[in-house]
Amino acid sequence: MQKYSTKDKQKLGPIRVGQRVVGLECENTFEEKVHDSHYFLRNPRAISLALSSLAEAVQIGAQWVQVRDTDCGFIYRAAIEYFLRVGFDLNREHGLQIAFCLEKWNLTRLSGDLAEQLSLLGD
């Protein structure tokens, strides 16, 4: 595994679940792009992430988790320490996950122009 420095804030580090890249770590933030219909729980309303991806993000220096909903342009952000402490364990046959209720996230909505520009960078 490649070593990453938390002092080099420009470096991107891929976060994997198995061999699949699920997100990137940059400037102490682990970001994952998701589609609402695939990652959001219906009851309770929550977002779940693989525990292994969060552990890897912490290992390479991430302090924040950020989820970008590519369906509607919302960005959900929380401190990883808070996410792990307040979230609840879940296993939906995709390995151990931690779910975090929607009302606990800091929520931002991208403006239409910015959301469109970011979508050009790819999902």
**pTM exceeds 0.75:** no
Residue 51 lies in a domain: yes
* Start-to-end C-alpha separation, the chain: 24
Averaged pLDDT, 9-22: 52
Residue 7 lies in a domain: no
- Taking residue 33's Cβ as centre, other Cβ atoms within 10 Å add up to 17
What's the number of domains the chain is made of? 1
**pLDDT of 51-67, one tens digit each?**
888 888 888 888 999 99
Contact by Cβ (8 Å): 52, 96: yes
Residue 24 lies in a domain: yes
At residue 6, does pLDDT exceed 70? Answer: no
Residue 2 lies in a domain: no
Question: Domain of 36?
Answer: 13-113
Residue 90 DSSP label: E
Residue 122 lies in a domain: no
